């Protein structure tokens, strides 16, 4: 089995309560995984765009915003280093938050992004999604989204839903370091469409395969197979019932629109889960790799420092 390790964690910071809550999760993970931590703050383009009559206002305000953000991040990083004895660096960048987070994740060869999510609703959810949704869609590495409803420091109970999609079991490799460092127990939940008898039989065999893998790793786990009308709703209901510390999903693209959006399953769970979600993309195709490399074009650093 391929040994996946979490050595580098990237945390977007916008100084909000939700982002700070996710940072606490990332700090705890960094200590358990012996990983380095990088904080990134992105100054949104909308904050530095002015009408033509504003003249040189852009060039005047951007350096000030960068300096203020860098000062705040530097103080935060130093405090984390002193209190928790972990290696921390920080980055300040202007641009679109989701794009810059993904660019830096690729540039830094990050193993995991941990970020807070406010969720979304209505038309804005469908057309724009949240920053978390866009990061999950484009990230070169797994993304853990942390809701701001409470603090999540460890992951003793993990919900592991399985659908009949390609590479459905790839995500086990990525979650394995978390299981080992947390002594996690798993609930394996096979999900099939209502009245799909053949699918039920195939799913049961797949669930048994996962149980065998976990038995080899001495992981405590239970398993269920569920019929349902709506797959994402079923997963969210199971989370509400079982109160896991983490939901692990395979973040698939909707191929009917050539990967422009994440599939509705992924979007629903990332936007609506009341528990942390670890979204793992299947192994990337050549097109995915080309898209990620495109993210690197035009990458410019406003500030990067180590504390």
Tens of pLDDT, residue by residue, the chain (307 residues): 457 899 999 999 999 899 999 999 999 999 999 999 999 999 887 655 555 555 555 556 878 888 999 999 999 999 999 999 999 999 999 888 999 999 999 999 999 999 998 654 433 333 334 678 889 888 999 999 999 878 999 999 999 999 877 676 778 888 999 999 999 999 999 999 888 999 899 999 989 888 888 888 899 999 999 999 898 999 999 999 999 999 999 887 544 433 334 567 888 898 889 999 999 987 654 444 444 455 445 444 444 554 4
Q: Are 21 and 71 in contact (CB under 8 A)?
A: no
Q: Is the dihedral of CA 43, 113, 9, 78 positive or negative?
A: positive
Answer whether CATH 3.40.50.12370 is correct for domain 8-306. Answer: yes
Residues 241, 214: Cα–Cα separation, whole Å: 23
pTM, rounded to two decimals:
0.85
Residues 201, 172: Cα–Cα separation, whole Å: 21
Q: Is the dihedral of CA 147, 150, 152, 156 positive or negative?
A: negative
Distances from the Cα of 107 to the Cα of 102, 112, 248, angstroms: 9, 13, 25
Any alpha helices (H) in 217-301, and if so which ranges? 231-242, 264-272, 286-295
Cβ partners under 8 Å of residue 175, min gap 6:
158, 160, 246, 248, 278, 280
């Amino acid at each position: 089995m391929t040994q996946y390790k979490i050595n580098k964690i990237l945390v977007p910071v916008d100084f909000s309560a939700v982002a700070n809550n996710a940072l606490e999760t990332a700090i705890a993970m960094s200590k358990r995984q012996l990983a380095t931590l990088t904080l990134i703050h992105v100054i949104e383009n909308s904050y530095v765009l002015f009408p033509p009559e504003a003249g040189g206002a852009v060039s005047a305000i951007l350096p000030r915003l960068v300096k203020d953000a860098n000062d705040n991040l530097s103080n935060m990083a130093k405090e984390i280093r002193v209190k928790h004895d972990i290696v921390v660096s920080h980055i300040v960048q202007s641009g679109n938050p989701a794009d810059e987070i993904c660019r830096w994740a690729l540039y830094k060869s990050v193993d995991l992004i941990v970020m807070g999510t406010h969720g979304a609703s209505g038309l804005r959810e469908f057309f724009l999604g949240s920053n978390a949704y866009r990061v999950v869609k484009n990230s070169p590495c797994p993304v853990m989204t942390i809701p701001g409803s409470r603090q999540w420091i460890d992951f003793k109970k993990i919900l592991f839903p399985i659908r009949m999609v390609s590479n459905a079991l790839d995500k086990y490799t990525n979650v394995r370091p978390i299981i080992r460092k947390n002594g996690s127990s798993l609930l394996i939940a096979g999900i099939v469409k209502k009245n799909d008898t053949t699918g039920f039989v195939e799913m049961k065999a797949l669930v048994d395969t996962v149980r065998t893998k976990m038995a080899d790793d001495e992981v405590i786990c239970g398993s269920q197979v569920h019929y349902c009308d709506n797959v994402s709703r079923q997963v969210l209901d199971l989370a509400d019932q079982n109160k896991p510390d983490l939901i692990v999903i395979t973040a698939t693209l909707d191929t009917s629109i050539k990967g422009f959006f994440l599939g509705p399953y992924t979007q629903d769970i990332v936007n609506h889960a009341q528990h942390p979600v670890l979204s793992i993309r299947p192994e990337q195709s050549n097109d995915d790799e080309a898209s990620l490399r495109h993210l690197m074009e035009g990458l410019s650093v406003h500030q990067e420092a180590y504390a």
